[in-house]
A and B are shown apart, each in its own frame.
Chain A
């Protein structure tokens, strides 16, 4: 579905690469966590995929079509994006979600556009807030509105930049559960930049580790090892299982790098 080949990006011409020869693929219905420490290029990777930051080299394809060759509206119909810091909009929830129909609107929103927005509002449980200003909503509700707006674009690929960073634990789980349900129901692929490894391991199908501007590891549960985590985050972790749910427990005070032998502490059959 999404195929990224040898993607390279630097913010300044001739400057150091934020991303270098990054290649990976995401299948339909798949949710992929993009992991790495601060400054690893995770958010930049999302912005390169949807041309917010046009890459210097490499190619991004969706269903075989090059994103670089698409018109802006074609791209917006294929890829939707929820930014890390969303501004508090002085418009109603309905109007904010209606913005997702912008790539389809020629002169004004049609009855079909309004019905699509209405359907998404119901699906995401926003009926009670539909005519309230976004600025008056809580962080969790606001994040749902942004997700709903992205969904209104009817995309093939959904890019989420730290969707849970400002949310309490209940809302973190609610939002990610919603993302997973939406992705499966609407056959959407999802790429999520996320810092919380426990949320990642619980809600994502595959994992992409970025280190030093390059892909360090990419794959399913088999790459979610203490060794990979230590190599990328420089922190010692144990991975255990609690009631059948994998849990990443950091031990920042433990000295020394994790040796390969440390993997024996991992309770998961990786």
Chain B
């Protein structure tokens, strides 16, 4: 083989890598485009040039209020929550070697929601400011709610980790069933808390379970952003470890990966990101499952690209779902959690059937 031919081979690989980079660029551009549309669309339609002008400090005061205080917070929440759920889902699927793993299927979402309910009802962390569906609930003490959500979401993760470590023959189906059992347990706990709570607090918790991206103000968004970017950075630093783990635990160990630490830290940080996201905006199911699998079709299981692409895809999916929920029967806003479940459940079934075919 001549040097020229070798260069051609390496060039072919470089082109292949560039294709993956283009997939990421397209996902980011699509997310920005849809985000701009989401900011402009609504009961008060704002033309796109005016949106851009307002984002750069121009525009009239009314438009500024609508964009900066209502729509942009909503879209930013969709980007951060969608991104956080999606990257945590991608990493959980890798470290548990389970294509059905995500915050919602492993009981993390339900656990975090239970924790949030605990924070609201028992520790007085949140109150309803208005009984209108259009108005947001407010978290009077986001830190206690987040802490409770994280603690209970982590409890769910802890059980899954212990099960996967001590019952190695549990298999992918068994872990998901464990997640279903934990979800049921936490749902029961949430119901019990609601039973003993007053109407105001029940309304807050129920509103929460619908999922509401409008609930997040800039202060909350800052918390979400910090957690999301820390998680994203950590996951990107470990992308080669995740690639190695795709070859199986023994091979990964032989490549120098501390598989146990990578799994525990991946699950822990994934849970943190998912639990914080869920605690602020309510239960948003299946984004963490669907977005990574969509991107796997374009970039394979190469976590160098899968992690950033999943983040972009998760953000895009959640903005699309939220914008659909806001516009389809405007001015009524459909709960985002219901829309993502409609989107995710067929995908979940598709994965199940594809898995069954694969094992046949």
CB-defined contacts of B253 to chain A, threshold 8 Å = 50-52, 72
Shortest B105–chain A CB gap in Å is 20
Asked if B248 is at the interface (CB within 8 A of a chain A CB), the reply is yes
Q: 8 Å CB contacts to B: which residues of A60-96?
A: 71-73, 75-77, 79-83, 85-87, 89-92, 94-96
The reply to whether B247 and A90 form a contact with Cβ atoms under 8 Å apart is no
Asked if B164 is at the interface (CB within 8 A of a chain A CB), the reply is no
CB-defined contacts of A89 to chain B, threshold 8 Å = 246-247, 301
Other-chain residue from A52, A79, A86, A94 in contact with B13 (beta carbon distance below 8 A): A94
The reply to whether B256 and A115 form a contact with Cβ atoms under 8 Å apart is no
Interface size on A, residues (CB 8 A): 43
Q: 8 Å CB contacts to A: which residues of B292-321?
A: 296, 300-302, 304
CB-defined contacts of B16 to chain A, threshold 8 Å = 92, 94, 131
A95-B302, A99-B243 known; A52 vs B255 contact (CB < 8 Å): no
CB-defined contacts of A47 to chain B, threshold 8 Å = 250
CB-defined contacts of A149 to chain B, threshold 8 Å = 247
The reply to whether B9 and A83 form a contact with Cβ atoms under 8 Å apart is no
Shortest B158–chain A CB gap in Å is 23
How many contacts between A and B, using CB within 8 angstroms?
Answer: 95
Interface size on B, residues (CB 8 A): 26
In the assembled complex, the Cα of A108 lies from the Cα of B240 at a distance in Å of 8
CB-defined contacts of A108 to chain B, threshold 8 Å = 304
CB-defined contacts of A76 to chain B, threshold 8 Å = 254-256
Asked if B12 is at the interface (CB within 8 A of a chain A CB), the reply is yes
CB-defined contacts of B240 to chain A, threshold 8 Å = 99, 102, 105
Asked if A246 is at the interface (CB within 8 A of a chain B CB), the reply is no
In the A-B complex, the 9 residue pairs with the closest CB atoms = A76-B256, A81-B254, A72-B256, A90-B301, A73-B256, A103-B256, A102-B255, A83-B250, A52-B253
Interface residues of B (CB under 8 A from A): 1, 6, 9-10, 12-13, 16, 240, 243-244, 246-248, 250-251, 253-258, 296, 300-302, 304
Query: Mind listing 11 A-B residue pairs with CB under 8 Å?
Result: A71-B256, A86-B251, A87-B246, A91-B302, A92-B16, A99-B247, A100-B255, A103-B256, A105-B240, A122-B6, A122-B9
